[in-house]
């Protein structure tokens, strides 16, 4: 491994790959494009971070295998939290991870389409997608009643919860829409166990500051520094 790849671990291929061979890149949001797990920070505003974060961590490590169940358990703990907590998290706590803007800009300049697919919430994905120029977004819609979280989600046309299988399905659907082959022309970037299905469906899988199980299965693991280090394995 060269010094320029010192913060990367590559396995399963010999870099560099040709950026021109790819047509789509799919990204997780929480702890991948941004520096926080939004649900944990909402819980922090409500004074329940420890309880919610423990479930989040176990789910991301793959110790809780049913993502939908883990999300429902965490949402139940947030019932009654004021809607204003969402704005507070967005304004005071959400930041983009190093290199996120640079990577997305470079991929778009190279002609790739971008997909944001998240087990998080539309309140935050809308902001992130606008800032980074995403072409598609898939995430969960928090149900709000009388200005407070109900502890549930809104049923959307595609379903209620964006879990690992929905991330994979969305990646494949977007590839099909533009006539691309996911297994040869798609990149998938994530950090948690629920990202593994879409990472497994892509030509290039990237783990960013990820859980051990995800690092082990990814073709590229970025363990320190910025997301734009992905460009080091693409020419």
pLDDT of 13 reads: 79
Pull the structure tokens for residue 210.
Answer: 């990820």
Question: Which member of 28, 40, 163, 228 is catalytic?
Answer: 28
Q: Which domains does the chain have, with CATH numbers?
A: 3-36+96-233 (3.40.50.1000)
CB 49 within 8 A of CB 57: no
Separation of alpha carbons 117 and 199, rounded Å: 12
Count Cβ atoms below 10 Å from residue 138 Cβ, excluding itself.
Answer: 23
Q: Which of 106, 112, 140, 113 is nearest to 126 (CA)?
A: 140
Q: Is 163 marked active-site?
A: no
pLDDT at residue 83, rounded to an integer: 96
44-96: pLDDT as tens digits: 998 999 999 999 999 988 898 899 999 999 999 999 999 999 999 999 999 99
Query: Tell me, what's the pLDDT at 201?
Result: 98
Catalytic one of 3, 21, 30, 191: 30
pLDDT tens, position by position, 125-181? 999 999 999 999 999 999 999 999 999 999 999 999 999 999 999 999 999 999 999
Q: How many CB atoms lie within 10 A of CB 101?
A: 17
Determine if the peptide bond prior to 58 is cis (ω within 30°). Answer: no
| pLDDT value of residue 8 | 86
168 CB neighbour count, 10 Å cutoff: 23
pLDDT higher than 80, residue 2: no
Residue 135 among the catalytic residues: no
């Amino acid at each position: 491994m060269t010094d320029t790849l010192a913060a990367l671990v590559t396995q399963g291929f010999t870099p560099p790959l040709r950026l021109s061979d790819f047509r789509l890149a799919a990204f997780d949001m929480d702890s991948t494009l941004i520096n926080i797990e939004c649900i944990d920070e909402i819980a922090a505003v409500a004074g329940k971070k420890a309880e919610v974060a423990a479930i989040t961590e176990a789910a991301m490590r793959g110790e809780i295998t049913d993502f939908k169940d883990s999300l429902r358990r965490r949402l139940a703990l947030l019932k009654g939290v004021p809607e204003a907590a969402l704005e507070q998290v967005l304004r005071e706590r959400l930041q983009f991870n190093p290199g996120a803007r640079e990577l997305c800009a470079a991929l778009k300049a190279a002609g790739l389409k971008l997909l944001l697919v998240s087990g998080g919430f539309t309140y935050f994905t809308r902001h992130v997608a606008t800032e980074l120029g995403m072409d598609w977004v898939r995430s969960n819609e928090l149900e709000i009643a009388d200005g407070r979280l109900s502890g549930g989600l809104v049923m959307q046309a595609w379903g209620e919860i964006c879990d690992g299988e929905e991330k994979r399905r969305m990646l494949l659907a977007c590839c099909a829409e533009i006539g691309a082959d996911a297994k040869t022309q798609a990149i998938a970037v994530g950090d948690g166990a629920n990202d593994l299905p879409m990472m497994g469906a892509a030509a290039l899988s990237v783990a960013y500051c990820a859980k051990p199980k995800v690092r082990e299965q990814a073709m590229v693991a970025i363990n320190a520094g910025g997301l734009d280090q992905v460009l080091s394995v693409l020419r």
